[in-house]
Each structure stands twice: as C-alpha cells, then as structure tokens.
Structure 1
Amino acid sequence: MARAEAKTGTAAPKPGTRRPDLTELANRFGSDKGSDKHRYTELYHMLFQPYRDRKITLMEMGLLIGGPEHGEDPDRETPDLPSIRMWLEYFRNARIIGLDVSDFSWFRHDRFRFVRCDMDSRAQLAKAGDSLPVCDIIIDDASHASHHQQNAFLEMFPRLKSGGLYIIEDLRWQPETYERPRITKTADLFQSYLAERKFAHNDPEVAAAFDALRDDISGCFIHQVRYLKDRKDQIAVIHKR
C-alpha cells in the first residue's frame, strides 16, 4: 500500500463558505474517530471549535490502528496517518505533534512533527515531553493499556497549557499483549476522582502521583460509547486549571 502524502491545504476558506466539520473530515481521511465507528468527532467538534483558527499546538499519541498492542512488530509498515491529516486540515494554523512507538518520520508537513516513543517507559515519555513545546490539546489514542495511559498522563498533563484539554480515548478496551494483571483501570481511576476528588489506585505510588496533580485539574467528565447511556466510561476529558 502506498504511503499517503501530505495533501492538506492552508488556503483560507472564502467568506460565507461552510467549512466541513470534524466528522466530515474524519470520514474523508479514514479516521476511526468519525461517524463510521466511534463518533468522537461529534464531541470534539463542540470542544475544539473555539480553537479552530488559533495558533495552537495539538499532540496525538497513537497514529494508526494496529501495532504491538495487536501483536504486530513496532517496526511495522506505517502507510498512513488518518487522524493527523484530519487535524492538519481542521486546524489550519496549528502545530501538530504525533507520538508513536512505530516510525512515522516519513510523513512531511511544515506544521507536523513526529516523535518516536515507547509509552511502556515513563523515562522515554519524560524525555519526549522535555523536547516538546507546551500543548493546548493532548489526545491519547495509543495502545490503551492502563499503565500506558497513566504513564502518559503523569508525564504529559504537566506539559499542557493552563486552560488546555487532555483526552484519553477507548477506556473500555485494553490489549492483552500489554495490560498488567489487576491494575486499576484508567476509567476507574478517574471515576474515583469524580466521586471523591481523590485518586484511588491499587499502587499507592501511582495514586500519590495522580493526587499531586489534583490542584491543576479544574474539571473532568467521562463520556459513554456512541452516546449510549448504558455503555459508560469510553472517553475522558480533563481540563487544566
């Protein structure tokens, strides 16, 4: 399969022209965030519309379906970056950062930067974070392993701007290849914060590390799957004070 080229334009829309919403762009570029699967873009368009024309920095962790969480080699072929191309088209003035354990350095765009990182290692995440600018929006769509999500939040949330949004996707699915036995699930971790304003985790050190960030969290909600009330805990949105 041929690799996709960066074909996102930068010309401003003509006055009076209706710009495509985020769901239309997700479907066009083949992102699973659109209406064909998760429907995350319906929520994101509401959250992100005020940022659309601003010079923000957005980082997404996890750039293509598949990878080690599905038993593939980290050095797999990476023919496309659907969500990154969607973000570049939606946020015409934004810098977009992509982080992944696989190699996407072949993708070239003047507003895109790629960082290779294994989220199994907090040290690698810390090193990656130290090399990056502060972000307005961070989205974790990587392996979905609980400790990966938690490692990433502990290292990257402090690198979020005041007023920024941190989003963790796909809380209801964890890969057998990575998930640790009896680890507190990330959804349960944030539900404990919502209930008690304190993080409960079966590892006291992890709980303490999350609690150390409580004063920087001004709000949090956890959304259900495809807007179905009986399928809770799919996506977390955390706002930084």
Structure 2
Amino acid sequence: MNDLSALAEKFGSDKGPGKHRYTELYHMLFAPFRDRDIRFLEMGLQIGGPEHERSVDRQTTDLPSVRMWLEYFRKAHITGLDVSDFSWFSDPRFTFIRCNMDNEVEIAEVAAEQEAFDIIIDDASHASHHQQHAFVHLFPKLKSGGLYIIEDLRWQPPVYETRGYPKTAALFGEYLETNSFTHPVSGLQEAFNEISNTFSGCFLFQAKFLKRRKDQVLVVHKV
C-alpha cells in the first residue's frame, strides 16, 4: 500500500483503498508535487451534503481528505471549497471558501479572486452542470503543468441534475474521440473548445481500475 493510501485509511477518506481506490492513481500523479510549495484546491469536503438531500447548513464534523492532503503535501497550501460551512477548521496551510456550486455567477466570482493552482480536484455535488461550470471557470486558473481532476463521474444526484447538460464523462469521452467538444448549452461549447487548446493530455479512468466498469475519474493536464 502506498503512503497516500495509508493516509486515506488513517483519516477516513473515501478516496482510499477501502472504497474508490483513487489514491493509487493520485500517488503516481502527485508524487512530483509532494515536496513543492504548491497551491491545491479541493471542491467538496465531506460526504452527506445537499446532493444527498441534506441542508446546506448541516453540521459538518470533519475534513478527511483535507487532513490527508495536508500530511501528504508537506509544503502545500490547501484551499477547500464547499456549499456547507467548514470555517471552524484551522490550519496555517488551509483556507476555506464557501460557495454554492448551483450558482454559476458565484463560481465565476470565486475563480476570479483566486491565485493560480497546481492541482484542482472536483469532488463536490457531482451534478453535471456543476462540474462543467466549475471547469470552464477554474481550469484557466490552473498553472502550466497543473492537473484538473473530476471525481465520481458515474453518479449524478437526482436532486441537482439539470436537463440539457450531457454527463461529464460522455462530454469528455466524445472529445477524446473527435478532438472537439459538442455541448447543447449556449456558450459552453465555445468555452470548452477554447480551453481545450491548453490541454496537453486528457484521460478517463474506470472505477477501481476495472475496464468493465464505467468511467469514474477525469484527469486533464495543462500545457
């Protein structure tokens, strides 16, 4: 077991071998960043938010992945973004931003205020339009050589899912086949195709490394 997987088990993150096994992939991708002074953003900080029909003002109790990242990345500054309140968590290398992913204007405002990031992970609501709006506003905030990751592509919450938006896995799957984005929502097709000019690599990864399983993780590397 690599040490990132061990940290996931230690802090109870569902990214570890006990559930999704993302840490096996992430250890390979993130090892070159580990001892660098990087900026890291994770959206979605604890399971059980409004995507599971709980109040946005729910009582939050832990940030398992943030704790994992703070220990794994020895010099990184970690920014956490969520619709619920995690401002009670304090660490000199952590900043919390409260943001409603269902409000594209709010996402755009948050993105505009941020310095560039080295790694961005979207583990928020998993709703297709949330993922896609976040991507078009936040991918441009990624540094050259940075990584943008969207998790849990095979589950979208019925309470949030919006007609007219393709599933994010299907959207990027078509791009990988045709080298072009097609999107039915006005403005998003142009935005995705413009951003794609800054991709140096892009792939979809199946759940738990099993080819028979649906795509679960998107990884995009910036030129």
Q: Determine if contact 2:11/2:68 at 8 Å carries over to the other structure.
A: yes
Using the TM superposition, give the Cα deviation of residue 193 of structure 1 relative to its aligned residue in structure 2, in angstroms: 1.1
What is the one-letter code of the residue matched to 1:106?
Answer: W
Using the TM superposition, give the Cα deviation of residue 110 of structure 1 relative to its aligned residue in structure 2, in angstroms: 0.1
Query: Structure 1 segments of 4 or more deviating over 6 A?
Result: none
The residue number in structure 2 matching 1:41 is 23
The residue number in structure 2 matching 1:122 is 104
Contiguous gaps of at least 5 residues in structure 2: none
The residue number in structure 2 matching 1:167 is 149
Q: Deviations over 1:195-234 (max 9, x none)?
A: 1110122224211111111111111000000011011311
Matched, 1:220 2:202: yes
Matched, 1:132 2:114: yes
Alpha-carbon separation, structure 1, partners of 2:186 and 2:213:
29
What is the one-letter code of the residue matched to 2:172?
Answer: F
Matched, 1:23 2:1: no
What is the one-letter code of the residue matched to 2:98?
Answer: R
Using the TM superposition, give the Cα deviation of residue 192 of structure 1 relative to its aligned residue in structure 2, in angstroms: 1.2
CA change 1:204–1:127 in 2 (3 A) is closer
The residue number in structure 2 matching 1:192 is 174
Contiguous gaps of at least 5 residues in structure 1: 1-19
The residue number in structure 1 matching 2:34 is 52
What is the one-letter code of the residue matched to 2:217?
Answer: I
Q: Deviations over 1:68-95 (max 9, x none)?
A: 1000000000000000000000001000
Using the TM superposition, give the Cα deviation of residue 182 of structure 1 relative to its aligned residue in structure 2, in angstroms: 4.5
Alpha-carbon separation, structure 2, partners of 1:181 and 1:95:
37
The residue number in structure 1 matching 2:190 is 208
Q: Deviations over 1:32-87 (max 9, x none)?
A: 00000000000000000011100001000000001110000000000000000000
Residue 187 of structure 2 aligns to a residue whose secondary structure is helix
TM-score, normalising length from structure 2? 0.97
Q: Determine if contact 2:164/2:185 at 8 Å carries over to the other structure.
A: no
What is the one-letter code of the residue matched to 2:93?
Answer: R
What is the one-letter code of the residue matched to 2:6?
Answer: E
Which residue, 35, 54, 66 being the options, matches 1:84? 66
Residue 212 of structure 1 aligns to a residue whose secondary structure is helix
Q: CA RMSD in A?
A: 1.2
Looking at CA atoms only, which structure, 1 or 2, has the larger radius of gyration?
1
